[in-house]
Structure 1
Amino acid sequence: MTTKHRIFTTPFASVYPFYITKAEKKGRTKAEVDAVIRWLTGYDQQGLEAQLEKQTDVETFFNESPGMNPSRALIKGVVCGVRVEDVEDPTMREIRYLDKLVDELAKGKAMDKILRS
């Protein structure tokens, strides 16, 4: 039996401020981070805030998402030295997709490009 990565049991609310900080340091906004999360997961703003309030762990946050965006398969590239499209574990791949989207936001990429429209 393999042990789960620590991130899976971490409350999403504990990770979320790091996404906000990373974006804000580069002149982006919390609203843009929320938009990226909503695009990826299908949560509406109320649903996202409810998950944050409930201290839902990262794995449950992704597993309970209303509908992962089918366009997320278009997210390619490297995050933390790992190519996102090569990540085997489905939940870890969703986490890496979100990491990559926030990276793109912080790098100043246009929202329509980030949201693969």
Structure 2
Amino acid sequence: MYKHKIYTMSFARVYPLLVSKVERKGRTKSEVDEVIRWLTGYTQEELEEQLKKQIDYETLFKEAPHLNPSRTLIKGVVCGVKLEDIKEPTMQEIRYLDKLVDELAKGKSMDKILREK
């Protein structure tokens, strides 16, 4: 089975880029962590351990303690593709995270990002 190159990309290498993206817009690393924890169910300690282990994106989601069922409420377009049209589960999870980080960088309130209201 063909795996997209992003699956094997080290999440630990991408993570600082996600943090940098939101910090340029006045948001924080702790908010990025909150979004990741919401999406995956990792505790802060578990997330930090995964970053230390240099896991790839596929492992990040494969080992996630509890993927949030509300993640299916995340709609929109990432990289020109509608999230709900992505058929491959791992790629959809990756794009959900991308969309959440984009919303954070655009200044959306955390309760809306986390689909609480």
Residues 1:4 and 2:9 are matched in the alignment: no
Unaligned ranges ≥5, structure 2: none
TM-score when normalising by structure 1: 0.97
Rounded to whole Å, the distance in 1 between the matches of 2:13 and 2:53 is 11
Residues 49-89 of structure 1: CA deviation (Å, up to 9, x unaligned): 00000001110110000000000000000111111111110
Identity, % of aligned positions = 70
Residues 1:45 and 2:59 are matched in the alignment: no
Rounded to whole Å, the distance in 2 between the matches of 1:110 and 1:38 is 17
TM-score when normalising by structure 2: 0.97
Letter in 1 for 2:78: V
SS at match of 2:54: coil
Moved over 3 A (4+): none
SS at match of 2:107: coil
Superposition pairs for residues 22-61 of structure 1, below 5 Å? Answer: 22-61=21-60
Residues 1:115 and 2:110 are matched in the alignment: no
Give how far 1:15 is off.
1.1
Aligned residue number for residue 64 of structure 1: 63
Query: How many residues of Structure 1 are paired with residues of Structure 2 in the alignment?
Result: 116
Aligned residue number for residue 78 of structure 1: 77
Superposition pairs for residues 89-104 of structure 1, below 5 Å? Answer: 89-104=88-103
Letter in 2 for 1:38: R
Give how far 1:22 is off.
0.8
Letter in 2 for 1:59: E
Rounded to whole Å, the distance in 1 between the matches of 2:115 and 2:57 is 23
Unaligned ranges ≥5, structure 1: none
Give how far 1:111 is off.
0.1
